[in-house]
Structure 1
Amino acid sequence: MSLKRVKAVIFDFDGTLVDTVRPLAEAWARAASMLGISIKPDEIEKYVGLAGPEISLKITGGDEAKAAELRRLKDQVYESEYVPRMRLFDDVKSSLSLLRNNGIKTGVASSQTSRRLKQYLLNLGILNMFDVLVGSDVVARRKPEPDVFLKAAELLRVKPEECFAIGDTCFDYESASKAGMRFILVSRRGNKCDGAEFIVGSLSEAVSIVIANSSNLKDSP
């Protein structure tokens, strides 16, 4: 299949736009300790990128009642202690501006709920830099299934093959691949995903790839 001109970029949120991988892992670990579960943040980091229900079930070993209580406690810890300190990676605003200036549509497809995602982006001052937002609560299946990326493409009125997905985990890669999108892994922590078309160290590098592919390829028929 020939490559198509890129018309849109769909971003993951946690770990891609915001430096939240470690804070989320710490919040989960602290909540787990309140339930008598001993687990280190390092052990949880590999799950960040999945939605809360999946992470909580992994931590509790499949105990659904305990997982629900774990999510409640984690939300309390995270919202009160970590969200106020949430920060964008340094190159996010300039990268988003560059995409806008080049006429490339933008969206976010996240394992966060839509309500939280919108509030976080508003707090960070970049809500108006995205055309669409899709949270895990508005699709039938969460990452690593393709639903959030496909829904974002639908709302952007572009075909999946006209999109680049940008994320920081193999869950993002699997989700984007199933959606039929090209993928760029932003590997700030040295992580790898077998099969990823591009692996870069920063968002600005990823956006440079997107822009190069927005001008030198053919439109979809």
Structure 2
Amino acid sequence: MTRLRGVLFDVDGTLVDSTYFHTLAWWYGFRRLGHDVRMNEIHRLVGMGGQKIVERLLGPGRDSSQDTQILDTHGAVFSTFWPHLRPFDGARGLLERCKAQGLTVVLASSARQQDLEVLRSVIGADGLIDAATSSADAEESKPAPDILIAALEAGGLEASEVLFVGDAVWDVQAAAALDIPTVGLASGGYSEAELRDAGAVEVFPAPRELLEGFEESVIGRRLSD
């Protein structure tokens, strides 16, 4: 097995407790244009790119001229939640532990650039990461692997040298397309069973539990190989 050189991290729902803020922001976006979409349906798609969320929930027969307004409303409403964003307990410590082990740390986020800057500040991550991506770095969003390809390039890494940490089934599917093992975190609202069914090699409740079990986790085991 190739030596572990880096860890890619999703951000929303993985390091920052933001999934339900995104759900509510999407709900407002749909409601503004007269679409009554249930929040649980929205939540199941958070982690995909915005255009894919709109397409999945409204279908091919929708008035696609509304798409931009829905996307813009989501972005505007989500920005009102910026002051309320908090990192998950253990998120910064997990990044610190990876850096202390000599690993290259890349935030493989598909957030908008302005959101990513806020998320990085919330975590206090700038001194702990080697690179980060935003939606501008990917032509197609998850579950397509484009953002992970961009993250690998940004970190100077190969797929065989990394693990991915994410919270959504879309994260697991995107990583699987590149044969990258995923450590799942249930902090974004997907259950352990769902993440394992999608192909996650391990699942922890949240960053704190992964940090506490670091040595026994697949990350720790790969480091000791």
TM over 0.5: same fold? yes
Q: Does 1:199 align with 2:207?
A: no
Q: What is the 5 A alignment of 1:84-99?
A: 84-99=83-98
TM (normalized to structure 2)? 0.87
SS at match of 1:128: coil
CA RMSD of aligned residues (A): 1.8
Local SS of the residue matching 2:119? helix
AA at the equivalent of 2:108: A
> Which residue does the alignment assign to 2:4?
6
Amino acid aligned to 1:141: E
C-alpha distance in structure 2 between counterparts of 1:149 and 1:156, whole Å: 10
Match of 1:139 in 2: 138
Give, in whole Å, the separation in 2 of the partners of 1:97 and 1:146: 26
Q: Please give the per-residue CA displacement for 1:93-127, whole angstroms capped at 9, x wherever unaligned.
A: 11111111111111111221234313431344223
For 1:170, the aligned partner's letter is V
Structure 1 residues 77 and 131: alpha-carbon distance in aligned structure 2, compared to 1, 3 A threshold: same
**1:73-104 deviation digits (Å, cap 9, x = unpaired):** 11111112x12211110110111111111111
State the distance in 1 between where 2:47 and 2:96 align: 25
- Percent of paired sites with the same residue: 25
Greater Cα offset, 126-135 or 165-174: 126-135
SS at match of 1:165: strand
SS in 2 for 1:179: coil
In the aligned structure 2, how far is the partner of 1:175 from the partner of 1:162? Answer: 16
Contact preservation (8 Å) 1:114, 1:133 = no
Unaligned runs of 5+ residues in structure 1 are: none
Alignment of 1:109-128 (within 5 A): 109-128=108-127
Question: Number of aligned pairs?
Answer: 214
SS at match of 2:127: helix
For 2:39, the aligned partner's letter is P
Q: Which runs of at least 4 in structure 1 moved beyond 6 Å after TM superposition?
A: none
Q: Distance in 1 between matches of 2:91 and 2:123?
A: 11
Show the counterpart of 2:179.
Answer: 180
The letter of the residue matching 2:182 is: F
Superposed, which structure 2 residues align to 1:36-185 within 5 Å? 36-62=34-60, 63-80=63-80, 82-185=81-184
Unaligned 5+ residue runs, structure 2?
none
